[in-house]
């Protein structure tokens, strides 16, 4: 096993029994395309598993932390806690960028695409930890990575749907209903990227990027709120 992955285990505070799992968690599909005979797979199956574990752990935590909050608000809390930005920040907290196995081309791109890769890697690491060490250790890893954000998220209402907030405020202040338009669509079907603009009549207030139109619209609305200082 590479020295760098041993270093990551030190950060985690435990060693993997199946070292291959950890390496796979950090392996992007593009790396396998360039290194077809490397002897291990990419991270996407682990990411699929980790996403489910993350959702369960976050749901259980929020359910018990906020006993008087409705199901609808808890859903919004969870969405904010485990969105791409939040979990990519969790990945950065552990320095995961240093351990990524990427193609030469992908390694050069340090922009928005890297945030998505880090978010995916974070979920893949959860999947690997769950398989190798079980639910409680995976739960502890998620707690250390994300749960400290919750109090500020709730206090500042960062969980509220940005599109709804922007629409309510735009209608209240300017008597205009925002319109969203797709400005750009890139990538293959399994890895689409959308760029969406939010407009107040003819004025383009902001743009947002996401893996779905809905995510891009939310990002655009978040930026629009900041742009308008609402």
pLDDT at 69 over 70: yes
Residue 123 designated active-site? yes
CA distance 28 to 31: 5
Per-residue HEC secondary structure of the chain comes to CCHHHHHHHHHHCCCCCCHHHHHHHCECHHHHHHCCCCCCCCCHHHHHHHHHHHHHHHHHHHHHHCCCCCHHHHHHHHHHHCCHHHHHHHHHHCCHHHHCECCHHHHHCCCHHHHHHHHHHHHHHHHHHHHHHCHHHHHHHHHHHHHHHHHHHHHCCCCCCHHHHHHHHHHHHHCCCCEEEEEEEECCHHHCEEEEEEEECCEEEEEEEECCHHHHHHHHHHHHHHHHCC
pTM of the model: 0.75
Residue 209 designated active-site? no
Label the pairing between strands 179-186 and 203-210.
Answer: unpaired
CA neighbor of 127 nearest in space, from 16, 42, 41, 53: 53
CA distance 179 to 70: 30
> Do 142 and 168 fall within a single domain?
no
Mean pLDDT to the nearest integer, 96-100: 96
Q: Which of 47, 51, 209, 217 is catalytic?
A: 51
Q: What is the pLDDT of residues 185-199, one digit of tens each?
A: 998 887 789 999 999
> Do 110 and 150 fall within a single domain?
yes
**CATH number of the domain within which 205 lies:** 3.30.160.20
Mean pLDDT to the nearest integer, 34-40: 89
Last residue of a domain, one of 139, 155, 171: 155
> Do 113 and 185 fall within a single domain?
no
Q: What is the pLDDT of residues 172-181, one digit of tens each?
A: 999 999 999 9
Q: Which of 28-37, 93-102, 153-162, 174-183 has the lowest mean pLDDT?
A: 153-162
Domain enclosing residue 116, as ranges: 3-155
> Do 195 and 99 fall within a single domain?
no
**What's the confidence (pLDDT) of residue 26?**
97
Last residue of a domain, one of 91, 123, 155: 155
Domain count of the chain?
A: 2
Q: Which of 47, 106, 120, 123 is catalytic?
A: 123
């Amino acid at each position: 096993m590479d020295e760098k992955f041993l270093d990551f285990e030190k950060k985690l505070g435990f060693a993997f029994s199946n070292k291959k799992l950890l390496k796979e968690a950090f392996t992007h599909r593009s790396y396998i395309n360039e290194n077809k005979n490397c002897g291990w797979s990419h991270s996407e199956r682990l990411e699929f598993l980790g996403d489910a574990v993350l959702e369960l752990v976050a749901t259980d935590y929020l359910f018990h932390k906020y006993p008087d909050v409705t199901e609808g608000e808890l859903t919004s809390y969870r969405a904010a806690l485990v969105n791409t930005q939040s979990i990519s920040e969790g990945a950065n907290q552990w320095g995961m960028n240093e351990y990524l196995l990427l193609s030469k081309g992908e390694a050069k791109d340090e922009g928005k695409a890297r945030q998505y890769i880090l978010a995916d890697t974070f979920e893949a690491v959860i999947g690997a930890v769950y398989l190798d060490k079980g639910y409680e250790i995976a739960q502890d890893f998620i707690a250390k990575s994300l749960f400290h954000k919750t109090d500020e998220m709730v206090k500042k209402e960062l969980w509220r749907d940005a599109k709804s907030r922007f629409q309510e405020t735009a209608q209240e202040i300017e008597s205009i209903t925002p319109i969203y338009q797709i400005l750009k669509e890139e990538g293959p079907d399994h890895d689409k990227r959308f760029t969406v603009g939010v407009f107040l009549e003819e004025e383009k207030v902001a743009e947002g990027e996401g893996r779905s139109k809905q995510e891009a619209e939310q990002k655009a609305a978040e930026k629009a709120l900041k742009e308008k200082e609402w």
